[in-house]
Amino acid sequence: MDAFVTGTDTGVGKTVLAALMAAALGNGYWKPIQTGRIQGRAPTDRETVIAWTGLDAPNAPPEAYVFDPPVSPHLAALEAGVTIDLPSIRRPRTPLPLVIEGAGGVMVPINETEFMLDLMHHLAVPIVVAARTQPGTINHTLLTVEAIRRRKLALTGVVLVGEQNEENRKAIERYGGVRVIGWIPPMSRIDRAALVAVFERHFDRSCFDGKSAYES
Domain positions in the chain are 3-207
Choose which CATH entry (3.30.300.30, 3.40.50.300, 3.40.640.10, 3.30.70.60) describes domain 3-207.
3.40.50.300
Q: Say what the pLDDT of residue 41 is.
A: 67
- Cα gap 157→179, rounded to integer Å: 5
- Cα gap 120→116, rounded to integer Å: 6
Model's pTM, two decimal places? 0.94
Q: Judging by beta carbons within 10 Å of its beta carbon (0-12, 13-18, 19+), is residue 161 exposed, middle or buried?
A: buried
Within 10 angstroms of residue 121's Cβ, the number of other Cβ atoms is 17
Active site residue ranges: 31
Pick from 110, 61, 62, 57: nearest CA to 87: 110
Question: Model confidence over 97-129: pLDDT tens digits?
Answer: 999 999 999 999 999 999 999 999 999 999 999
Q: Which amino acid is at 6?
A: T
